[in-house]
Amino acid sequence: MKEFSRVVKFTLFSISAGLIQIAAFALLNELLHLPYWLSYLTALVLSVLWNFTLNRKFTFKSAANVPVAMLKVACYYAVFTPLSTLLEHHLAANLGWNEYLVTGINMLLNFATEFLYQRFFVFGRSIDTAKKKP
Cα–Cα dist 128/101, whole Å = 36
Q: Please report the beta strands in 11-82, taking only residues with DSSP state E, as ranges in sequence order.
A: none
Task: Reply yes or no on whether the pLDDT at 134 is more than 70.
Answer: no
Banded model confidence at residue 106, pLDDT cuts 50, 70, 90: confident
Cα–Cα dist 64/126, whole Å = 6
Whole-number pLDDT of residue 36? 86
- Mean local confidence (pLDDT), 87-111: 90
Closest-CA residue to 21 (of 104, 114, 127, 131)? 104
Task: Reply yes or no on whether the pLDDT at 18 is more than 90.
Answer: no
Please tell me what DSSP assigns to residue 129. Answer: -
Please tell me what DSSP assigns to residue 74. Answer: H
- Mean local confidence (pLDDT), 90-109: 90
pTM across the whole model: 0.79
- Mean local confidence (pLDDT), 38-58: 92
Banded model confidence at residue 133, pLDDT cuts 50, 70, 90: low
- Mean local confidence (pLDDT), 60-86: 93
